[in-house]
Amino acid sequence: MSTPALRAHAEQQFADELAALVRHDDKPKPPNWKLSPWAVATYLLGGELGGEKISAKYIGQRRVIEIAIATLATDRALLLLGVPGTAKSWVSEHLSAAISGDSTLLVQGTAGTPEEAVRYGWNYAQLLAKGPSLEALVPSPVMRGMREGRITRVEELTRIPADVQDSLITILSEKALPIPELGDEVQARKGFNVIATANDRDKGVNDLSSALKRRFNTVVLPLPESVDEEVEIVRTRVASLGKALEIPAEPPALEEIRRLVTIFRELRAGATADGKTKLKSPSGTLSTAEAISVVNQGLSLAAHFGDGSLRAADLAGGVLGAVVKDPVQDKVVWQEYLETVVKERDGWKDLYRACRELS
Amino acid sequence: MSTETHILGIRHHGPGSARSVVAALDAIRPQVLLVEGPPDADELLPLVAHVEMRPPVALLIYRPDDPKRAVFYPFAAFSPEWQAIRWALVNQVPVRFMDLPQRHRLALDAEERESTALNDPDRRVRRDPFTLIAEAAGFSDSERWWEEQFEKRHAGPEIFKVVLELMTALREEQPIESLDLRREAWMRQTMREAQKEGHERVAVVCGAWHAPALATMPTAKSDTEVLRGLPKVTVAATWLPWTHRRLTFASGYGAGIHSPGYYEHLWALGHDGQLATRWMTRVAHLLRAEDLESSTASIIEATRLAETAAVLRGCVVPGLAEFNDAAQAVFCFGDAAPMALIRERLIVGEVLGGVPTEAPQVPLQRDFQKETKRLRLPPEALDRKLELDLRKPNDLDRSQLLHRLRLLRVAWGKPETARGKGTFKEAWTLRWEPELEVALIESAPWGNTIAEAATRFTIERATQCETLPELTALVEILLLAELPEAVESVMQQLENQAALTSDVGHLMDALPPLTAVLRYGNVRQTDATMVSHVVSGLVARICVGLPPACSALNDDAAAEMQTRVNATQSALSTLADESLRTAWSATLRQLVEDDALHGLITGRCTRLLLDDGVLAAGEVAARLSRHLSRANPPNQTAAWIEGFLAGSGLVLLHQMPLWNLLDGWLSSLTPDHFTEVLPLLRRTFSTFAPPERRQMGELAKSGIGSVTTLTAAPSEEDIDEERANRLLPTFSLLLGNPPETRS
């Protein structure tokens, strides 16, 4: 390869660690799994195996990952649910890299995902020349996963139209994909499974039918547990994004990020950080990813229209836009929050004033 | 003659321990059984086998002279002690408690409180010995560890030897508290007595921690030394019905247990290997009963997932943690909300115990009798009317007692509306029913005095209130019951609920009782700041939420809202807080500006702002004429006038500017216009009292000039002092002072 790929797959990026795990893994492996469930857990959560250090891919609750792996080990399909920015796709990529050694069998769910992407399509030149035959058939990633006994990923399952979603039902319950045109079928080999990811907060998704839901074990990936963890995520992402976008402002003060993260976390959780006061939650998701974009927006405001360093006034507009998604309900939520929490908090007067001016 | 002594070290409330104890007792067949527990309650032991005795129950030991000093020993069906006692009673083996009696421990407690024992390093809370072992074994909590090591393995009687060894090793590294030394000395003395009686086989059931101390006996002399000179108080004991929920609280045995319902399931299941399947089936049935989807296929998948997860975590069989994770992933589609239901109904489980009627009276009943005697308020089975004058101390106490009983749901007194005016009067109808006695006993676990029980019960109830009106209703009684401790926690709850509610009406309903407390109540200083914090939070939320809540109301809803606006206004007017009133006025102003709102609301708000002097008379006149102009639909106009004038016939007579406005507007009407609005005006004016209407008529007849003289404020020079002085004795009488002798 002359130029390196913009982004390497998990199994390429962490090839060394995977190889090390394979070397030292002496626990029983389910059929067609590259690693034992214990080694998969170590790969995801980090740790040491046979003296080799494995970095943590997922920082958060151990039990979430354990249940996800146990689900795949019982050959049930796994549905990773969570608000945007909770590392759903990240976990799914690493799980399939660790289990099948390959994370590329991927169906990207969009509003326009056709049935061919889940089942199979036809190569029309071949079809016209030879008629329906196996050579003319274009297998979907799902079909390939079934044939090869590997994990197939379905990203953004709830964006896929409902009728296309439902074509997964047979695959998941019968573990077979009929091809009526050839009077044939593909039976899944051991090791095949599906990891789907879906968003449970965004509006306008195609909710899963209960028939499909029943065929998944659902694991909800939680938001970062502590303020510090989340502040750190926002800080590092903002730093790397700021470089790419070439925003000339100084890096934001940690204090300002902390305030922003605090606001987001409090509104999300429906309670103040000290747990003393309950709050209403707005209709938006207020994910970590949104916090990152608010800080970025504030930075460019500060650089182009302010004095170059991030101030409360630069953040206020972004915060308002992130919180108030529904002009009636969310406005009440935000104003209540301003009046009962922001106003009374020590050292937040500037933020209160800046927000009051806007609303 | 030698005596065989078997020490059975158990884990309190462990179903596995209970099973092992019963098996061991069956094998040993002791001639006497000693159980860790308070000997003060030895006489109550036979009641355990009574047919009406249904666990969970608790043994209560208390000081009759100071019932607040009390200790509870809760027992569930799966408690090893309970099963051991039952075994003894069924097999007609003598059984007695062997711990240091509470008559000494409560006395020691009292002494300790008097000395400055708080700084004593030895008084640190001892860490649960099992926590230390569990941590060493890599478990996050001791309950799971015990479950893994013993209860899930259905280990036989040899487990007691293992426990003994473990604890011996552990005790070598741990400091032993002085209280433990005394307790163990007492236990050994009790064992020696039993041995002296000549029994061949003695069985001892005690907490595992104490087992090593009982296995090796020091000399009797040293124990006598330890126990010398123990202080003593009088104690009484009785059985109380308990609940699973209360088993989860810390009590006489130390920490509470987190999952009594699950343990009961384990106990009831016995050695059945189908634990996972059966538990998952119960979960599925519960969810089905709540109309949540849960098929048989899901039970299969949940069981498989729990078992696989257990293997992945290195456990022998799945435990509660795996069951919960599996149930959430399979049944609940990842949703955490149904898990709360499972926790409440299955893992804790709502079970209420029962106690035979032969059990001695509970302290709460005694306190009740003491109070009724003190207040000369004997319970009678007849309806009895009672009118209280809250200015008299005895009557005030009576009122507080009745309100406290209402909080406890002991419905002895029914509040009636008092005749005559004045907030110091309260009327009740009293009637004592036999079931109230039962209600009183049911309240016994909450405390040993009426005040204490009412406080705790109210705090608990408040946490379960799901809507603001429920909570507001509770607060109204609570504030009359004078329970400052409960006020603090309920206020916190109220604040939380207020934050969550989206119904501004409910917020507005919650405000008046609170402002009444701030203004007239005799709450303590700390409570006052708390209440005022809640009030300002409520007002802020009302001010934010009111304008959207007022839009698009129909006539009924508008009338309701108008009443609430009035109530909020009068509640706020009693407070001296300027910032709250400014915020409120600003909100009213915002409402007034919105012509799209229901006329009743805008009319009312205009009037309130006029009364407060926020809107000038000229501005109001402009609004009046705008709202009465022909372009408005007639019913909207009528509503505006109704809102503007509602209930204020007298004010119209005394407020010159108002009268002038209305009069000016009426005279400016063209004949046609007048005929059109006449029915609307009639409708409003007909709500005024007849004398008011007559006066208005006279006022209108006499013309504007005479009105001015009638309402002109008398100046100070006009006062005839001699005539005024004649009124003073009457005033003083009215204010409750004794009449002075007239000179």
Q: Is the dihedral of CA B275, B277, B283, B289 positive or negative?
A: negative
What is the pLDDT confidence band of residue B589, given thresholds at 50, 70 and 90? confident
Predicted confidence (pLDDT) at residue B712 exceeds the cutoff of 50 = no
- Residue range B150-161, pLDDT digits in tens: 766 656 667 888
- Cβ contact, residue pair A74, B492, below 8 Å: no
- Cβ contact, residue pair A277, B500, below 8 Å: no
Question: A113 to chain B nearest CA, in Å?
Answer: 24
| Contact (Cβ atoms closer than 8 angstroms) between residue A70 and residue B321 | no
Q: pLDDT value at position B118?
A: 40
- Cβ contact, residue pair B548, A328, below 8 Å: yes
Please state the separation of Cα B390 from the chain's center in Å.
26
Q: How far apart, in whole angstroms, are the C-alpha atoms of residue B569 and residue B648?
A: 15
C-beta atoms surrounding B458 within 10 Å: 25
- Residues of chain A found within 8 Å of residue B530, distances taken between Cβ atoms: none
Rounded alpha-carbon distances, angstroms, from residue A266 to A273, A344, B553: 6, 15, 33
Say whether residue B312 is in contact with chain A using an 8 A CB cutoff. Answer: yes
Sheet-wide strand order for B425-430: B384-389, B425-430, B413-416
Please give the residue of chain A at the shortest CA–CA distance from B309. Answer: A70
Q: pLDDT value at position B119?
A: 39
Nearest to B97 by CA among B142, B18, B41, B49: B41
B545 or A100: which carries more pLDDT confidence?
A100
Backbone angles phi, psi at A191, to 5 degrees: 105, -15
Q: How far apart, in whole angstroms, are the C-alpha atoms of residue B76 and residue B242?
A: 9
**What is the average per-residue pLDDT within B659-687?**
76
| Contact (Cβ atoms closer than 8 angstroms) between residue B109 and residue B69 | yes
> What is the domain partition of chain A in residue ranges?
61-220, 227-358
Say whether residue B305 is in contact with chain A using an 8 A CB cutoff. Answer: yes
Please give the residue of chain B at the shortest CA–CA distance from A39. Answer: B312
- Residue range B96-141, pLDDT digits in tens: 999 989 888 888 877 776 554 443 333 334 556 666 777 777 666 6
Please give the residue of chain A at the shortest CA–CA distance from B498. Answer: A278
Both tokens of B248, joined, read 């989860």
Q: pLDDT value at position A137?
A: 93
Cβ burial B637-652 (10 Å sphere, 16+ → b, else e): bbbbbbbbbbebbeeb
Q: Which of B295, B301, B496 sits opposite A76 (nearest CB)?
A: B301
Question: B266 to chain A nearest CA, in Å?
Answer: 24
How many helices (H) and strands (E) in chain A? Answer: 16, 11
Predicted confidence (pLDDT) at residue B188 exceeds the cutoff of 70 = yes
- Cβ contact, residue pair B312, A73, below 8 Å: yes
What is the pLDDT confidence band of residue B327, given thresholds at 50, 70 and 90? very high
> What is the domain partition of chain B in residue ranges?
4-116+178-247, 272-348, 363-450
- Residue range B339-367, pLDDT digits in tens: 888 888 888 887 777 778 777 777 888 88
What is the pLDDT confidence band of residue B709, given thresholds at 50, 70 and 90? very low
Both tokens of B227, joined, read 């126990």
Rounded alpha-carbon distances, angstroms, from residue A303 to A312, A315, A352: 14, 12, 22
Backbone angles phi, psi at B70, to 5 degrees: -145, 155
Q: How far apart, in whole angstroms, are the C-alpha atoms of residue A67 and residue B304?
A: 12
Q: How far apart, in whole angstroms, are the C-alpha atoms of residue B319 and residue B140?
A: 13
Backbone angles phi, psi at B52, to 5 degrees: -85, -5
**Least trusted range by pLDDT, from A305-309, B540-544, B648-652:** B648-652
Q: pLDDT value at position B151?
A: 63
- Residues of chain B found within 8 Å of residue A276, distances taken between Cβ atoms: 492
Nearest to B260 by CA among B349, B338, B340, B324: B349
Say whether residue B586 is in contact with chain A using an 8 A CB cutoff. Answer: no
Q: Which of B297, B311, B325 sits opposite A214 (nearest CB)?
A: B297
Q: pLDDT value at position B627?
A: 76
How many beta-carbon contacts under 8 Å exist across A and B? 95
Both tokens of B597, joined, read 């709102």
pTM confidence score: 0.65
Q: pLDDT value at position B415?
A: 83
Q: pLDDT value at position B713?
A: 45
Q: Which of A66, A216, A340 sits opposite B309 (nearest CB)?
A: A66
Say whether residue B330 is in contact with chain A using an 8 A CB cutoff. Answer: yes
- Cβ contact, residue pair A66, B312, below 8 Å: yes
| Contact (Cβ atoms closer than 8 angstroms) between residue B404 and residue B397 | no
The three-class DSSP label of residue B241 is: strand
Question: A213 to chain B nearest CA, in Å?
Answer: 7
Say whether residue B135 is in contact with chain A using an 8 A CB cutoff. Answer: no
- Residue range B25-81, pLDDT digits in tens: 998 899 999 999 899 888 889 988 888 888 888 888 888 777 667 788 888 898 889
**What is the average per-residue pLDDT within B581-608?**
85
Q: pLDDT value at position B89?
A: 92
Q: Which residues contact B641 (CB under 8 A, 6 or more apart)?
A: B599, B603, B627, B628, B680, B681, B684
**What is the average per-residue pLDDT within B199-228?**
86
- Cβ contact, residue pair B544, A328, below 8 Å: no
Q: Which of B330, B335, B336 sits opposite A217 (nearest CB)?
A: B330
Q: Decide the pairing of beta strands B201-207 and B4-10.
A: parallel
- Cβ contact, residue pair B545, A210, below 8 Å: no
**What is the average per-residue pLDDT within B530-545?**
84
Q: pLDDT value at position A152?
A: 95
- Residues of chain B found within 8 Å of residue A76, distances taken between Cβ atoms: 301, 304-305
**Burial class of residue A226 (count of CB atoms within 10 Å of its CB; 0-12, 13-18, 19+):** exposed
Amino acid letter, residue B290: E
CATH of A61-220, one of 3.40.50.300, 4.10.95.10, 3.90.1010.10, 3.30.70.270: 3.40.50.300
**What is the average per-residue pLDDT within B374-391?**
81
What would the 3-class secondary structure string for B646-689 be? CCCHHHHHHCHHHHHHHHHHHHHCCHHHHHHHHHHHHHHHCCCC
Geometric angle at alpha carbon A204, from A201 and A210, rounded to 5°: 75
The low-confidence residues of chain A, meaning pLDDT below 70, are: 1-4, 201-204, 233, 236-237, 239-252, 359
- Cβ contact, residue pair B308, A277, below 8 Å: no
Please give the residue of chain A at the shortest CA–CA distance from B533. Answer: A340
Q: pLDDT value at position B739?
A: 54
C-beta atoms surrounding A142 within 10 Å: 25
Q: How far apart, in whole angstroms, are the C-alpha atoms of residue B326 and residue B324?
A: 5
Q: Which of A70, A270, A328 sits opposite B308 (nearest CB)?
A: A70
| Contact (Cβ atoms closer than 8 angstroms) between residue B130 and residue B146 | yes
- Cβ contact, residue pair A220, B334, below 8 Å: yes
Please give the residue of chain A at the shortest CA–CA distance from B543. Answer: A336
- Cβ contact, residue pair A332, B548, below 8 Å: yes
Q: How far apart, in whole angstroms, are the C-alpha atoms of residue B583 and residue B586?
A: 5
Preceding amide of B469 cis, omega within 30:
no
Please give the residue of chain B at the shortest CA–CA distance from A40. Answer: B312
Q: pLDDT value at position A358?
A: 78
**Does ipTM exceed 0.90?**
no
Q: pLDDT value at position A151?
A: 94
Q: How far apart, in whole angstroms, are the C-alpha atoms of residue B546 and residue B541?
A: 8
Q: Output the CA torsion B292→B293→B297→B303 (10° steps).
A: -30
Q: Which of A74, A336, A339 sits opposite B305 (nearest CB)?
A: A74
What is the pLDDT confidence band of residue B522, given thresholds at 50, 70 and 90? low
- Residues of chain A found within 8 Å of residue B330, distances taken between Cβ atoms: 217-218
